[in-house]
Structure 1
C-alpha cells in the first residue's frame, strides 16, 4: 500500500481506533482517529483524506446502521469524490451492502483480518486517486473549452449577414445538422463556432477537422480512431475526432473534397450513430451535432458523380450560404476596423489608425481571399508599421486593384528569362515561392483545389506553404 497517504478512522470503540492506528501507521503517512462523527465536517475541511473508515453504529445499543448511513451521506456531500469503507459486525453484513448502495466503496467486518484491511484500503486509495484525476481532467477540459470560446467575430450589418445571423439563431438551439456553403475565407468555421456557442452543447467540445489536409489513407484513422496494432506504426490506441467530439459539435471543413468511397464510410457512421475504430470490433455510441462546410458550388454538390446525394441530405438539414466579402461591401470597413483594434492590442501599437485613403481603398478592393485575406492584410500592416498611420501600401492593396502577373505554376519558374547580373534582381527563392503561392490563391479566389492544381502541387503541400508564409 502506498505510504504517502492519509487515512481517517471514525468509530465509537476506542480499542478499534487504537488497533486501526497501530496497523495502518506502518503503511501510510498519517492516520487520524476520532470517536465523535459530528467532528467529520471539521476534519474533512482541514485535510484531504485518501480513504475514510466509518463505523455503522455509534450510540450505545444502536444496531440499525442508520447513523452510519447518515454520516456516509454527510461525508459524500462534503467531498463527492471521497472513498468511504464501512466498518460493521459480521452479523450486519447486509447493512454494509445497503451502505454501498448509498455510495460506500467497500466494507470491513469486525473482527477483521489485517491482510483484508490492508488490501481493501489499498484498492480504496487507488480508486480515490482515479476519482481525483477524473475530477481534475473534467475541470481542465471545462477550462479549455471556456478558453477556446472567444467572443463572436461575426461582424456585419449588411442584409446578407443579417439573414445569416437569423438562420444561426433559429438553427443553433436544435441538433439539426448544418451545411455551410461559401468561398474560402468567408468565415465558415466562425459560423460553425457560433452555432456551437448558441447550442445546448456549448459546454461540451467543439472539434474542427480540415478534411482538405487529411490524406485518404489516414482518413479513417483520423476520424474513427484506431486500436493498438491496427496497422504498421499503430503502437498505441488513438481516439478519433468523431469520438473526441462526443456530446459536443464536430465541424468537418472541406467536406466537398473527400472521395466518394470515403463519403460512403462517413455516411454509414452518421446513419448508425456509432463508430468502430480501425482494428477493433467494438462499436462505440456516437452523440454529436454535425456541422459541415465546403467551398464547392451548390450545383457541383448536386452532381452524384462528385458527391453522394444521400450524404448531402444527411448533412444539409439546414443550409447556410455565406456571401463573399464583395457582396457585402458595406461591411468591409467595419471588419477592417475590428481587426485593426484587435491587432493594435496584440502587438501593443495603440496609436495606429487607417488613413482616409486607406479606408477608401479597403472598401473599394474586392478582396479575392474574402475576410481571411483582409484579416491577414491588416495584421501584416500592423506588424510592419513604423508610424501612427496605415496607408494603402502598408496593406499591399494594388494601385489598380489587380494581382500582378506572374507564372501560373511553380514549374513555370524555370521558363522565366532573368539576367542574374541585372541590378535589382532578387534571387531569394523563398520570397519568389511566397509570391507565386499568394498570386495563385488570389487568382483563384482562394479556392484551394484550383490554386494547388495551378501551382502543380497537392492540396496538403499548398496548406503547408500557406501556413509557412502566413497566407
Structure 2
C-alpha cells in the first residue's frame, strides 16, 4: 500500500515488553509514518512525552508473564491519559477477547488490535487513528487561536467599504489575490486600514474556516520574539513552565498576519526568512522540526525599499513577502467614502453608547470631507466615537468631530507658527496620551517607531 501522504506527521509510540513485537511493528509503520518510537518498559513512557508530541500510543495489555487479564494495560492507560489527556491509545494483545475489547474502550482506548496482526487491518486502524488525532488537534488549535484574534473579525470586515476609485481599485486587487495562497505585502500610512484589509483577504480565502493569527511586530520585544513566533518546550528557559505553541504553529493551514514587519531586527528577519523558505521550524528547547502550511500577509508604513538600500531590511526577505504588493489609499484619497464610513461607525457607536436617535445632516457631512484627517480612517473613527460619547442632543455637527487632543496653546494668541515647536508639542502630547508607549504614540502621530525614536533623541524628550 502506498504511503498515505496526509498521515506523515503523526507521532506514534509503541509500548510492549517483547522486543520482537516492537521491532516488527516499528519497521512496518516506518514505511508510512516518519516518527515511530518504541519502549520496552512502560515505566519510561513519560520520558517520551517530555521529548515528543505523542499522538497515538500502541499499548500492550499485559506486561507480566502468565497474565492475560489486561489489568497492566488498563493501569498504564490511565497513567498515559494523566500525562496527556488527548492521547489516542490502541491496545495490543495476543488474546482476542471481545469482552476485553469492550472493557478497553470503556477505559478510554479507541481501538483494539490482536497479535499477530494482519498488515492491511493494522494500517487501516492506524490511518483512522491519525485522522482522529489530526481532527482533535485542529479543534484544539482553533480554540487556542482565539486569544490571538478579535472575536469581531467577521464583523470588522463589514467596515471594509468604499466607492472612491482608489479604494475600488484596491478592493478589486484584494479580491483577485484572496483566493490564492500568494504572499501579500500591504503598504500605506498608519490608519489606512491595512489590518482590516488583511482580515478581508483571510475571510475571502480558502483558509477562512480557521482563525487568522496576528503578530504585531511593533509590540513584541526582541527577547520574546522567538518564543512568540516559534513557541517553546517546557523548561526551555526559566519561565517556560509548560509547552507553548507559537503563532506559526497556530497558523498552520491558516493565515499569518505580520503587522509592522518593518520593525523586525535583522537577526529576527533571518529567522523568519528561514521559516518561509523551508516551511519548517523548531520550538525553543527542541530539536524536532515542525512543518507548517501558512499563507503570509505582511503590513507596514515604513519605506522597506529604502531600508533595503540602508541595510536595515533584508532584500531576500522583502521579495519573499511581496509576491503581491498593495498600497492602501489615505483618507484624503478617498473623500467620497466619508459618508459610508460615517454611516458604519456612527451606527456602531450609537448602539454601543445607547444613543440611537443621533443623526448628522448632509451639509455637516460635506464639512467633514473638507477637514484634515492626518490619522486617516483610524482618526476619523476615533473622532466619531468621541462625538457620540459627548453628544447632548440628537443632531451631530461637523465641529463635534474636531479633536482637541493635540490642541496647541500657542495658536490661541497666534504669536508663533514655528514648525519645530509644533512638532515638539505634538510629540509630547502623543507620549503623554499613551503613557510613554512609543509604539502607540508613533501610530497616533502617523510615523514609524524609528522615526519617533530619532525625534525623541533630537529634541531630548524623555
TM-score by length of 2: 0.63
- Which of 221, 237, 262 in structure 2 is aligned with 1:231? 237
| Aligned position for 2:433 | 434
Q: Tell me how far 1:444 sits from its aligned partner.
A: 4.1
Unaligned runs of 5+ in 2: 1-87, 113-128, 411-420
1:152-301 equivalence runs, <5 A? 152-301=158-307
Gap change, CA 1:436 and 1:273, over 3 Å in 2: closer
Please list, as runs of the form range in 1=range in 2, the aligned pairs for 1:405-420 lying within 5 A after superposition. Answer: none
> Bigger shift: 135-144 or 212-221?
135-144
In structure 2, the CA distance between the partners of 1:224 and 1:409, relative to structure 1 (3 Å rule), is farther
In 2, are the aligned partners of 1:408 and 1:440 still within 8 Å (CA)?
A: no
Change (3 A) 1:412 1:165: closer
Contact 1:196–1:202, Cα closer than 8 Å, also in 2: yes
CA contact (8 A) 2:212 2:254 kept: yes
CA offsets 1:99-154 (integer angstroms, 9 cap, x no match): xxxx99668745967xx8756642438999x9898797588689999864224311
Q: Contact 1:207–1:244 (CA<8 Å) still a contact in 2?
A: yes
**Secondary structure of 1:289's aligned partner:** strand
Match 1:122 to one of 77, 99, 107 = 107
Closer/same/farther in 2, CA of residues 322 and 301 from structure 1, 3 Å limit:
farther
Partner of 1:9: none
> Which residue, out of 355, 368, 376, partners 1:370?
376
Comparing 242-251 with 438-447, which one deviates more in the overlay? 438-447
Task: Tell me the distance in 2 between the aligned counterparts of 1:411 and 1:391.
Answer: 26
Q: CA deviation at 1:359?
A: 1.9
Larger Rg: 1
Aligned length: 335
**Structure 1 residues 33-66: Cα deviation after superposition (integer angstroms, max 9, x where no partner):** xxxxxxxxxxxxxxxxxxxxxxxxxxxxxxxxxx
Change (3 A) 1:346 1:446: farther
- Sort the Cα spacing of 1:219 and 1:351 in 2 relative to 1 into closer, same or farther, 3 A: same
SS in 2 for 1:243: helix
2:342 corresponds to 1:336: yes
Give, in whole Å, the separation in 1 of the partners of 2:431 and 2:226: 37
Is 1:149 aligned to residue 154 of structure 2?
yes
CA 324–277 in structure 1, closer or farther in 2 if over 3 Å, else same? same
- 1:377 and 1:347 map into 2 onto residues whose CA distance is 14
Change (3 A) 1:197 1:396: same
